[in-house]
Amino acid sequence: MPTEALKPHNLTARLPAGFDPLREGVTLERVRRRLGRTFRSCLAHSFLICVSLSCLLPLWWMVVSSLKTQQTIFSDMSLIPLHPHWQNYADAWTKGHFQTYFLNSVLYTTTTVAGVLLISSLAAYSFARLDFPGKNVIYFMFLTTLMVPIPGSLISLYVLLIKLHLINTVAGYVLPQVNAGLALGIFILKPFFERTPKDLEDAARIDGCGKFGIWWHVAMPLAKPALAVVGIFTALAVWNEYILAMLVLSDRDLMPLQRGLMVFQGAHITQYPLLMAGMTISVVPIVVVYLFFQKHIIKGVTAGALKG
């Protein structure tokens, strides 16, 4: 190649007419910065993709294993089964009495979430807007319960439920979980209520609203993102609860869905395909709920990160 073609004036001649690199802001330093940002962005996205795959792989393996047989579940290592056995889901639903366990879990979850949202929102609004003696002391007493691990309170909880005659009852299973979710709910909701504009509350008072009317018509609609966060966290905890169910409930007709999974685990053999099918059935509802409230959850978490 002729050396004249590499000269700067020849390179400039190849640029579009009227293009001035300095005037257009195209400098070597800016190009380096842009390449650096692009490289860091690609590196961050690659890392996040790897983390996402590591989280999704166990779920996918569970679904794939639920479509295999007892003979091929440990010998067939393929990620896509060639001959899926959809009958495993029907067998898991009928043999494991999943219809009873599933309805029980739905009842327990919805009741607990409703109780936590109602009580924690009322308490958080009281801590945020009302003045009464010992308010800060009571609030921090609620927060200290977050530091107590759940297994550490099982003995005292069991003794209390026996004295209240709540063993093997729906109330004995739901009320402890409502109590367990109140501290986190108050902790998340209180900052949102504190940031509620007082002008809106004053306008509501002029329209004739009392404290409960302001809480319901003003504070609650503005706290929807925070309510979604509290609701999904509570639903996850209740839906996956197993130890409390084993401790409190003994009647099979009252058992939640997680207890039903133990039907496929015997003393000598475990029916792994049916167990994986049952686990898939138990995972799908909570994933659907999360996807449905995803927008509100992200908004609530980011709002707390930016303003809190």
The answer on 159 and 43 residing in a single domain is no
- On the 0-12 / 13-18 / 19+ scale of CB atoms within 10 A, 43 is exposed
The answer on 23 and 157 residing in a single domain is no
The answer on 46 and 173 residing in a single domain is no
What does the pLDDT look like over 171-210, one tens digit per residue?
A: 999 999 999 899 999 998 998 888 888 888 888 888 888 8
Q: Which residue has the higher pLDDT, 282 or 107?
A: 107
The answer on 279 and 210 residing in a single domain is yes
Contacts of 207 (CB under 8 A, 6+ apart): none
**Which residue in 182, 192, 184 sits closest to 128, CA to CA?**
192
pTM exceeds cut of 0.75: yes
Split at pLDDT 50, 70, 90, the class of 6 is: very low
Q: Is residue 285 part of a domain?
A: yes
**Which residue in 69, 114, 95 sits closest to 230, CA to CA?**
114
Q: Is residue 76 part of a domain?
A: no
Q: Is residue 48 part of a domain?
A: yes
Q: Output the domain CATH number for residue 223.
A: 1.10.3720.10
The answer on 176 and 126 residing in a single domain is yes
The answer on 276 and 131 residing in a single domain is yes
| CA atoms of 47 and 260, how far apart (whole Å) | 37
The answer on 271 and 135 residing in a single domain is yes
Whole-number pLDDT of residue 306: 46
Among 9-23, 95-109, 277-291, the range scoring the smallest mean pLDDT is 9-23
Contacts of 126 (CB under 8 A, 6+ apart): 132
List, in sequence order, every residue forming a beta bridge with 265; answer none if it has no partner.
270
Residue 121, token pair as written in the block:
């929102």
Split at pLDDT 50, 70, 90, the class of 307 is: very low
The answer on 233 and 128 residing in a single domain is yes
Amino acid at the residue 103: L
For the chain, give the mean pLDDT. Answer: 82
Q: Which residue has the higher pLDDT, 114 or 6?
A: 114
| CA atoms of 304 and 191, how far apart (whole Å) | 8
Q: Is residue 71 part of a domain?
A: no
Split at pLDDT 50, 70, 90, the class of 21 is: low
In this model, does residue 297 exceed pLDDT 90? no
Q: Is residue 288 part of a domain?
A: yes
Full residue range of the structural domain in which residue 226 is found: 96-307
Q: Is residue 1 part of a domain?
A: no
* Total count of domains within the chain: 2
- For the segment 26-43, the average pLDDT, to the nearest whole number, is 83
In this model, does residue 304 exceed pLDDT 80? no
The answer on 250 and 189 residing in a single domain is yes
Q: Is residue 188 part of a domain?
A: yes
Q: Is residue 49 part of a domain?
A: yes
Q: Which residue has the higher pLDDT, 7 or 227?
A: 227
- For the segment 50-57, the average pLDDT, to the nearest whole number, is 90
Amino acid at the residue 109: T
The answer on 189 and 239 residing in a single domain is yes
What does the pLDDT look like over 246-286, one tens digit per residue?
A: 889 888 888 898 877 776 766 556 788 888 888 888 888 88
The answer on 298 and 214 residing in a single domain is yes
The answer on 111 and 33 residing in a single domain is no
Q: Taking phi first (over 0 means left), then psi (-120 to 50 degrees means alpha), and beta for anything else, what does residue 2 get? A: beta
